[in-house]
Amino acid sequence: MKIKIDLALCQGHSVCLGEAPEVFNVIDQDDGYPHVKVLLDSPPEALRAKVMKAAKYCPNSVITVLED
Amino acid sequence: MSQSATAPLALPSKVSGEKPSIGHMEEFSANFARFLMRCNSECGELAEFNMGGQQTVLMSGPEAQEAFLKTLDQKLSRAAAYQATVPVFGKGVIFDAPPDKMKAQLKIQVDALRYQKMKNYSTVISQEVEDWVADWGDEGELDFLDEFLRLTLHTATHCLLGKDFRDQMTEEFRELYHDLEKGLQAIAFVDPYMQQPIFEARDKARARLQELIGGIIAERRANSGVVYGDALETFIAGTYADGSHLTDNEITGLVIATMFAGHHTSSGTATWTLTELARQKEYSADVLQELRALYNEDSEITFESLREIPRLERFIEEVLRLHPPLILLMRRVIEDIDYKGTLIEAGKTVAISTYGSHRNTDYFPDPERFNPNRPEPDTLFAYIPFGGGPHKCAGNAFAMMQLKAIFAALLPRYEFELVDPDETYQDDFSAIVLKPSGPCRLRYKKR
């Protein structure tokens, strides 16, 4: 799987970081909301469940999971 | 939306029925949701009307709504459109702050809605619901418009200002808050600084509220080791880019702004959800079955368990489709805009209507019918109860969590019936935030 991010929608709620800290971090910006930073663009299958939760529970639909 | 090109641009079609000097104000005030639907059906994607002198362009359909929602403040300003909030939230707060400070304040507001905080809030809300139903007995009748206003005032103050404040909440606080509410009615959007008793009361209330909240802030700064788990803690700790903290005025403003964003919107939606649960027997039986499978007598309602209640979620989403609490979202045009060959000039207001969008038959066939099982539109910009794009309501997850916590606790214990004839439960368009017309009486009976 591959992870696609729409940064324009990110408000830094950090749900993804809570669900899958192996894959997502949230970084403060100089200006405005903190933004998600993807640590693993193509995470291993073992993390699938966590990644899917991160995408599903993101309040702003920032994360899309694409299949290879 | 691109910059205006050199080719001659069309202008938006004008809505009929404009009157000298007041424009469409009368028809707008009578029922603004219906008026906006008329604008759209008469003029299409862009419809220009006159709000007592302010030319306003309604943008309809997912494509236009997407353009509206994705355009940033530099070109379509929220601040300029929402100046009525300035005397309520306070000078230098959010829509009165310079752009960099406004962004920092909104960021600190979202910090208070982060994952860990949300877990605390879900516990707080579940406790509040338990306290609320504790003296209900086996059956009775209540006006749920009042009940939900009170419940959500309790949850909002508890999550924002902490347990001590909530437990000691005085009549004075309720009155001050009420005076602020009255200061943000439709007339404030024409001019919030008119000589009016309601605006005088608003300004007094704002000043006194800052004394009250300032007292708590001072106390907390003196006990800096204590963890409170509420939003105020986050507001006090928050800093600007240069490391400086928010002033008491700014913290008070954020508290007020967050109350205003979340209180009436949540209570109106909760009232409508309960009313629809009483009305839509077939779908509420589905939701009840789902809740019974999830929770038995002794299982607690936790943040984790609240996240995944699909039938209840779809039910609430359908309530938000038919009864979106905020109908009209506005921006002021800062630079001329070329929208697909039509010029929207700087100085005009642009608006979108959630209520109208949710009744667009291309996306919601038979739109007045309550049906939680309708297919989702293939665009993110047709169903927009929380707006969308970069400025989407930051409290959307909080709102859904709170509604689910309320009904996950309520529905398995009680069944609800309408007291009055079905058709008397209607949307009330007289306030800025949509709610059912009052009183909203329901009978409850222990299952």
Q: How confident is the model over B36-74, as pLDDT tens digits? A: 999 999 999 999 999 988 999 999 999 999 999 999 899
Q: Assess if residue B6 is contained within a domain.
A: no
Residue B224 within any structural domain of the chain: yes
Contacts of B380 in chain A (CB under 8 A): 61
In a domain, B230, yes or no: yes
Domains delineated in chain A = 2-66 (3.30.70.20)
In-domain check, residue B203: yes
Residue numbers of the domain that contains B258 = 13-446
Band (B133; pLDDT cuts 50, 70, 90):
very high
In a domain, B1, yes or no: no
Answer whether residue B368 shows pLDDT above 70. yes
Q: Does the ipTM surpass 0.85?
A: yes
Looking at the domain assignment, is residue B400 inside a domain?
yes
CA distance A36 to chain B (A): 13
CA angle B213, B218, B219 (to 5 degrees): 95
**pLDDT beyond 70 at B122:** yes
Global pTM value: 0.94
In a domain, B2, yes or no: no
Determine which of B82-96, B197-211, B396-410, B420-434 has the lowest per-residue pLDDT on average. B420-434
Q: Among all residues of chain A, which has the CA nearest to that of B104?
A: A32
With 90 as the cut, is the pLDDT of residue B8 above it?
A: no
Q: Is residue B339 part of a domain?
A: yes
Amino acid at B53: G
Whose CA is closest to A3, among A39, A54, A42? A42
Residue B214: the pLDDT is 95
Over range B357-384, report the average pLDDT: 97
pLDDT at B400 over 70: yes
pLDDT at B34: 93
In chain A, what residues touch B390 (CB-CB under 8 Å)? Answer: 8-9, 11
- pLDDT confidence of residue B116: 85
Q: Work out the average pLDDT over B366-379.
A: 97
Residue of B nearest to A29 (CA): B241
The total of other beta-carbon atoms located within 10 Å of residue B233's CB is 17
pLDDT for B2 equals: 53
Mutate to test the interface with A, among B110, B120, B122, B306 (most CBs of A within 10 A): B110
**Chain B residues closer than 8 Å to A36 by CB:** none
CB–CB contact B394 A13 (8 Å): yes
- Count structural domains, chain B: 1
CATH number at residue B44: 1.10.630.10
Nearest one of B40, B67, B15, B44 to B356, comparing CA atoms = B40
Report residues of chain A scoring pLDDT below 50.
none
Among B110, B116, B392, select the one facing A12 at the smallest CB separation.
B110
Q: Of A9, A13, A32, which has the smallest distance from its Cβ to B389's Cβ?
A: A9
